[in-house]
Structure 1
Amino acid sequence: MGLQHFSTKDRILYAAEELFAQQGFASTSLRQVTSRADVNIAAVNYHFGSKDNLVNEVFRRRMDVMSAQRLEALAKAVNATQGQLDPILAAFVEPALAMAQDRHGGGAFIRVIARAYAESNDSLRKFLSDQYGHVLREFAKAIAPCVPALGKEDLYWRLDFLSGALTYAMADFGLIKRPAGVSESTHRQRAAKALIRFASAGFRADAT
């Protein structure tokens, strides 16, 4: 991606996102980021202050938008289809899959999320929990009345499983590749529909 048309701050974020996707957080140095972004180290320090904060801001840039879209869709689903599970799950799944198809680095960011799962980065996990844990709690609160027999612990386990399955689907690691002649949009819609059906059955399954 050519970065010359972006602001200095955005060039740094795009470069960091690409490098984190390729190499992970621990293996990426600020020198590599500045080289990719064609800026000096002072620019990184000015805009971000530290590598940990740069990592956080790579997430914040994408996650703020996606979280807002999820919560807006959730409010609409709860108001329009009270007691129905699938529209709530769609509000969680569809904004994430749409972000994955964003041509301005969405695919790289999905690999960054996968890195966050794989690498032990306590600072990042705390940041994500502090900033976005409320989104999962809002979904849990909305899902609970749809599956009244499910205890809170089981509900949170299943929401975790959905998050992991969604990340896997977004990263396009799996068996289902986009067939020739099928648009990205259609492929995304099919993936969303299949995942929602799968998750819905999972949430409704008896707890033992």
Structure 2
Amino acid sequence: MATSAHFSTKDRILGAAEELFAQFGFTGTSLRQVTSLADVNIAAVNYHFGSKENLVNEVFRRRMDEMSANRLTALKDALEKHPGELEPILAAFVEPALAMAQDRHGGGAFVRVVARAYAEKNDNLRKFLSDHYGHVLRDFAKAIATAVPGLSKEELYWRLDFLAGALTYAMADFGLIKRPTGVSEAAHRERAAHELIRFSAAGFKS
């Protein structure tokens, strides 16, 4: 029972923090707000996370670990089954992210947290993400370089950065193309992925 309580308390704190960060941003959210929404005391936050900075990092880790693992698995599969082809590599990058964004268990809130991270330019978070997930981008960059050998390293990273930005935009569903009536979320996501992969493939190849 103790183990179950341990995880449920931690998950409640993470869920509350994610929701509040999405709504108010990192600087605009206090630990008191988090503890109130999660229905825990400040000691529980300190015990599980130690600081607000660590809490921010763990909100990202909770989503990014799974998404990164899914991306790398899909990339390995793409390289084995479609060697030298660009679009399957891009699909391995795009599709797990869009799937995470559509996750009914807080995926939408996390996407808004990502948007907040862009807006607030949190240097500590940027370092955390680079330290823990930079290898994922490097693996994709290496794979793309093999598929599009004419690109310089600088061009490659510019275009990969633009792809990441476009993907974040698509994940947030900010765009002009809204899900039509009668079209399922899964079908809409599949169309978004297809169009983004085609668009970015043309950008990498130009």
Q: Shorter-chain-normalised TM-score: which range?
A: over 0.9
Residue number in structure 1 paired with 2:125? 124
Residue number in structure 1 paired with 2:84? 83
The answer to whether residue 87 in structure 2 is matched with residue 92 in structure 1 is no
Tell me the amino acid that sits aligned with residue 46 of structure 1.
Y
Residue number in structure 1 paired with 2:149? 148
| Aligned mates of 1:112, 1:180 — CA distance in 2 | 27
Residue number in structure 2 paired with 1:67? 68
**Percentage of pairs with the same residue:** 80
Higher-helix-fraction structure: 2
- SS at 2:108's partner residue? helix
- Give 1:146 shift: 1.1
| Aligned mates of 2:143, 2:114 — CA distance in 1 | 25
The answer to whether residue 181 in structure 2 is matched with residue 180 in structure 1 is yes
Counterpart mapping for 1:1-208 below 5 A: 7-205=8-206
- SS at 1:176's partner residue? coil
Write the deviation string for residues 26-83 of structure 1: whole angstroms up to 9, x where unpaired.
0100000000101000000000000000000000000000000000000000011010
| Aligned mates of 1:58, 1:193 — CA distance in 2 | 29
Write the deviation string for residues 61-119 of structure 1: whole angstroms up to 9, x where unpaired.
00000000000000000011010000000000000000001000000000001111111
Structure 1 stretches of 5 or more lacking a match?
1-5
- SS at 2:55's partner residue? helix
| Aligned mates of 2:186, 2:121 — CA distance in 1 | 34
Structure 2 stretches of 5 or more lacking a match?
1-6
- Give 1:145 shift: 1.3
- SS at 1:194's partner residue? helix
| Aligned mates of 1:139, 1:38 — CA distance in 2 | 41
Residue number in structure 2 paired with 1:3? none
| Aligned mates of 2:179, 2:23 — CA distance in 1 | 22
Moved over 4 A (4+): none
Root-mean-square deviation (CA, aligned residues, Å) is 1.0
- Give 1:20 shift: 0.3
- SS at 2:178's partner residue? coil
| Aligned mates of 1:156, 1:133 — CA distance in 2 | 12
| Aligned mates of 2:87, 2:103 — CA distance in 1 | 24
| Aligned mates of 1:124, 1:54 — CA distance in 2 | 11
| Aligned mates of 1:60, 1:8 — CA distance in 2 | 17
- Give 1:120 shift: 2.1
Residue number in structure 1 paired with 2:4? none
| Aligned mates of 1:49, 1:65 — CA distance in 2 | 23
| Aligned mates of 2:148, 2:57 — CA distance in 1 | 34
- Give 1:121 shift: 1.0
| Aligned mates of 1:85, 1:22 — CA distance in 2 | 37
Write the deviation string for residues 147-179 of structure 1: whole angstroms up to 9, x where unpaired.
111000100000000000000000001101111
